[in-house]
Amino acid sequence: MPSFHTKKRFSLTTAQAPKDDITTDPPCHPRACAIQNCIQKNNYDESKCKAEIDALYECCNAFYEKNGDAAKTVSCPKANLLRLKMRQLAQEKASK
């Protein structure tokens, strides 16, 4: 009997654990889609989508922690750029 592979549809919330999203194909893709949806809903005002953007960074960080810095996914920036951005975000939070 033939086996059919079907992709799962995900109902995504920003509370979903990043480790759950690294198992999607491609990894972290639901987070990237959530950003696109949010930006479109908010007339391309990126400032209203901070939670979705932060969730993608957390997912990508978990992806690199699990798979190493040489791993690739279309949904994430390169590991070194991601770490730089996460440091910048941490500094912003600390200065507030």
Map out the domains of the chain as residue ranges.
19-95
List the chain pLDDT tens, one digit each, 96 residues: 333 333 333 444 445 556 678 999 999 999 999 999 999 999 999 999 999 999 999 999 999 999 999 999 999 999 999 999 999 989 988 987
Q: Is the pTM of this model over 0.75?
A: yes
DSSP 37: H
CA angle in degrees (0–180, nearest 5) for 8-15-88: 115
What pLDDT, on a 0 to 100 scale, did the predictor assign at position 7? Answer: 38
N-to-C CA span, the chain:
60
Q: Are 39 and 50 in contact (CB under 8 A)?
A: no
**96 vs 32: CA distance, rounded Å:** 27
22 closest CA partner among 67, 53, 54: 67
